[in-house]
């Protein structure tokens, strides 16, 4: 049994997940590996199987206790009504050209797709409604929120087929989506955020003005952070095709300092707007993003 659990935890490695045949299998194995990990975390006892329940509290009517669940867990749980469990989550995935970059096995877009698929799978297992938007120069895919089991197939199929698109300005598209999304919920933006931080945060502020909760996952490649290029290199913009031929050692220090300031600006401005910001690299375990989502989900109830 321990060997089986260890094997499933392997599927949190994006490089291993990339070898699997389809998005449905990837999402399921990532979430299964994640749930196993929860037993060694502060969320011990959490199970997507019991997502429609909440712990018994003083004042609750005894007749609402689920006695079958008590027999399984030795704990008192109350069956929740639909309005208590219904959260609408809107996953916004950037599929612009820059998201296609990879220095290893997994591109930023692939990593973002795996994260989005696992989040969607986990949310729907918790009976939350999920929406998916894919965007580059425009919003190419919009799936309205639904908690139906069949909706998961639509989400996973859209993610399976997505490929890097063209150049984009992120902020106008976020403003467009903020106007389009009428029901309050949880906004999850997955992007490399290679755009003007002030304009993007202003667009995130638009969501907050409409009383949405917001999580931002900035996805970067390890090479974009470490800039470990050694030989003379030609750098080509993956969106507008501009190029620069240079010796990496000449610009490495300035590049790293600029990037650090760029990331810190996002962190600072997001914090000021009560937006949760997390930096993920494409070599990191996928459970990091799921854990941050679960933290947020627990806070908003």
Q: What is the pLDDT of residue 61?
A: 66
Q: What is the pLDDT of residues 22-42, one digit of tens each?
A: 999 999 999 988 887 665 444
Question: How far apart, in whole angstroms, are the C-alpha atoms of residue 81 and residue 85?
Answer: 7
Q: What is the pLDDT of residues 223-235, one digit of tens each?
A: 989 776 677 666 6
Q: Which band of pLDDT confidence, cut at 50, 70 and 90, is reported for residue 167? A: confident
Q: What is the pLDDT of residue 52?
A: 59
**What is the helix (H) or strand (E) element at residue 187, kind and residue range?**
strand 186-191
- Mean of per-residue pLDDT scores for the chain: 84
Res 296 pLDDT > 50: yes
Res 46 pLDDT > 90: no
Q: What is the pLDDT of residue 45?
A: 40
Q: What is the pLDDT of residue 241?
A: 66
Evaluate whether 23 touches 159 at the Cβ level (below 8 Å).
yes
Q: What is the pLDDT of residue 2?
A: 45
Give all domains of the chain, ordered by start, each with its CATH number.
2-83 (no CATH), 86-300 (3.40.50.410)
Residue for token pair 């499933």: 8
Q: What is the pLDDT of residue 53?
A: 65
Question: How far apart, in whole angstroms, are the C-alpha atoms of residue 152 and residue 122?
Answer: 10
Res 181 pLDDT > 60: yes
């Amino acid at each position: 049994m321990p060997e089986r659990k260890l094997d499933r935890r392997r599927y949190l490695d994006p490089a291993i997940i990339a070898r699997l045949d389809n998005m449905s299998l990837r999402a399921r194995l990532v979430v299964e590996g994640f749930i196993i990990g929860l037993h060694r975390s502060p969320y011990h006892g959490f199970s997507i199987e019991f997502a429609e329940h909440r712990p018994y509290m003083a004042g609750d009517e005894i007749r609402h206790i689920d006695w079958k669940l008590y027999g399984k867990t030795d704990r008192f749980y109350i069956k929740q009504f639909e309005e208590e469990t219904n959260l609408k989550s809107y996953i916004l995935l950037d599929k612009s050209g820059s998201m296609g970059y990879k220095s290893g096995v997994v591109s930023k877009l692939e990593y973002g797709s795996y994260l989005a698929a696992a989040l969607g799978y986990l949310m729907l297992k918790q009976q939350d409604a999920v929406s998916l938007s894919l965007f580059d120069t425009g919003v190419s895919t919009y799936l309205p929120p639904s908690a139906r089991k069949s909706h998961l197939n639509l989400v996973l199929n859209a993610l399976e087929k997505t490929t890097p698109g063209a150049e984009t300005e992120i902020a106008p598209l976020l403003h467009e989506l903020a106007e389009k999304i009428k029901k309050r919920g949880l906004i999850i933006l997955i992007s490399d955020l290679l755009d003007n931080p002030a304009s993007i945060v202003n667009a995130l502020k638009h969501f907050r003005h409409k009383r949405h909760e917001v999580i931002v996952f900035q996805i970067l490649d390890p090479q974009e952070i470490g800039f470990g290029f050694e030989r003379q290199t030609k750098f080509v913009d993956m969106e507008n095709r501009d190029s620069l031929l240079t010796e990496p050692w000449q610009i490495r220090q300035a590049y790293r300092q600029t990037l650090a300031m760029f990331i810190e600006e996002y962190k600072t401005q997001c914090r000021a707007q009560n937006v949760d910001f997390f930096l993920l690299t494409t070599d990191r375990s996928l459970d990091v993003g799921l854990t941050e989502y679960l933290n947020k989900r627990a806070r908003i109830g």
